[in-house]
Amino acid sequence: MNLENDQYLIQGIPLLDLVKKYETPLYIYDSSIIKRQIDRLNKAFDVPHLDVHFACKALNNINILKLVNQWGAGLDTVSIQEIWTGLKAGFDPSRIIYTPNCVGVDEIEMALELGVQINIDHIETLEYIGHHHPNTKMCIRINPHVMAGGNENISVGHIDSKFGISIYQMPLVERLVKTLGLKINGLHMHTGSDILDAGVFSFASDILFDVAKKFPDLEFLDFGSGLKVPYKEDDVFTDIEELGVILSKKFNDFCKDYGRKLSLYLEPGKFLVSECGFFLVKTNVIKQTPSTVFAGVDSGMNHLIRPMLYNAYHQIINVSNPGGKPRVYNVVGYICETDTFASNRVVPEIHAGDILCFKNAGAYCFSMSSNYNSRFRPAEVLIHEGTDMLIRKRETIDDLLKNQIEVI
């Protein structure tokens, strides 16, 4: 997004024109940013085979998935529904990794039937597959016992986490592999999201290499994600180019010792799509109380819950008044409980009717939205090759009621 003559533009299209055409609240995605991020990853790593799988939990519109597929990435999925969406988007099953947690064997069976690469983080499930599908190749998700991630909810590789099979249980896993003849073709770890310290990747990768030595038939090692993107100006972020150099060297050294060239898998969500997204809302009211000036907008925690759930920071731009004098606001939603997007935020003066834009609205924003307070979820627009396209209609009252059964 750039500012020219007091107008914010994406791929040359003024945001205010998009608001006129599609109304608010509105999610907008700039496809060129996703492509740029995929290219950056491919350039940063110097290994025989890098395979990027997009963690589609971050943004699951089928059009985004189709573009990601066209641009050569695979898909990281966590549910059968994500697999179905990926297949509908045209991904070959072999390009889809399925990393479930705490799902029942009925769902695992469905995934096996579809032929995707499964990634198991539960010992009993390993045994189940060994007994019922002895020839299936599978990946194991380890828990390396590393504390990493921007906050507690998104730190998933530590000792108290429900994810992964503990590295201390590897002797048991090895016993099962031998006894049941399990075909382990990959090892995986994912320690958290928004990892602030890049050293953590390097440290955790040594643990993965160590475990990998015990499995002679590997085809790939999956390092998960957690790549941190900037949310504020001057924010810390993962230096992907530096990480690429460090991890590539370690990986290539490992492959030499291992005696075979493996593929290096990554499964970024935020890194690929966080910065491509812009969420446009309209200011309904400016409300002054004894302590605070509130800007109340036509959205809330039902559409963008990250600030309320994780205290996440999303930059806010006044699209209608870029040159306005800076003032201090609490930007809040219209929901019937406290839903604060930002406190004490300096924004160019906001008037009722002004259009505000939340940045970094591509990852975990629409995909975590809900119908709380019986509000419609927003429309989504893709800007691709200089053209804006509606890729999800705004909901209507019929959508809200369509699965309700009137029995009274």
User: Residue written as tokens 């705004």?
Assistant: 394
Half-sphere exposure in the Cβ direction for 35 (13 Å, CA): 10
Closest CA to 341 of 324, 362, 363, 317: 317
58 binding ligand LLP? (CB under 6 A): yes
Per-residue mark of binding to ligand LLP, 351-370 (x: CB under 6 A): ------------xx------
Query: Looking only at residues 142 through 181 of this chain, which bind ligand LLP when binding is defined by CB under 6 A?
Result: 154
Residue 77 CB, nearest approach to ligand LLP (Å): 10
Q: Encode 289-316: b = buried (16+ Cβ within 10 Å), e = exposed.
A: eeeeebbbbbbbbbbbbbbbebebbbbb
Residue of 30, 76, 339, 380 interacting with ligand LLP (CB under 6 A): 76
Q: Are 374 and 400 in contact (CB under 8 A)?
A: yes
Residue selected from 96, 126, 129, 227 as contacting ligand LLP according to rule CB under 6 A: 227
Q: Which of 102, 139, 255, 336 is catalytic?
A: 336
336 in catalytic set: yes
Tokens matching residue 353: 């009717």
Of 164, 224, 300, 307, the one binding ligand LLP (CB under 6 A) is 224
Distance in Å, CB of 341 to ligand LLP, minimum:
14
E strands within 200-276? Answer: 220-222, 263-266
Contact 343, 330 (CB under 8 A): yes
Residue 26 binding ligand LLP, by CB under 6 A: no
CB 187 within 8 A of CB 208: yes
Closest separation between CB of residue 281 and ligand LLP, Å?
18
37 contacts ligand LLP (rule: CB under 6 A): no
Under the criterion CB under 6 A, does residue 187 sit at the interface with ligand LLP?
no
268 sits near ligand LLP (criterion: CB under 6 A): yes
Which token pair is 306?
A: 């990250």
Q: What angle do CA 96, 99, 104 make, to 5 degrees?
A: 120
Footprint of ligand LLP (CB under 6 A): 55, 58, 76, 99, 154, 190, 193, 224-227, 267-271, 306, 310, 363-364
Active site residues: 336
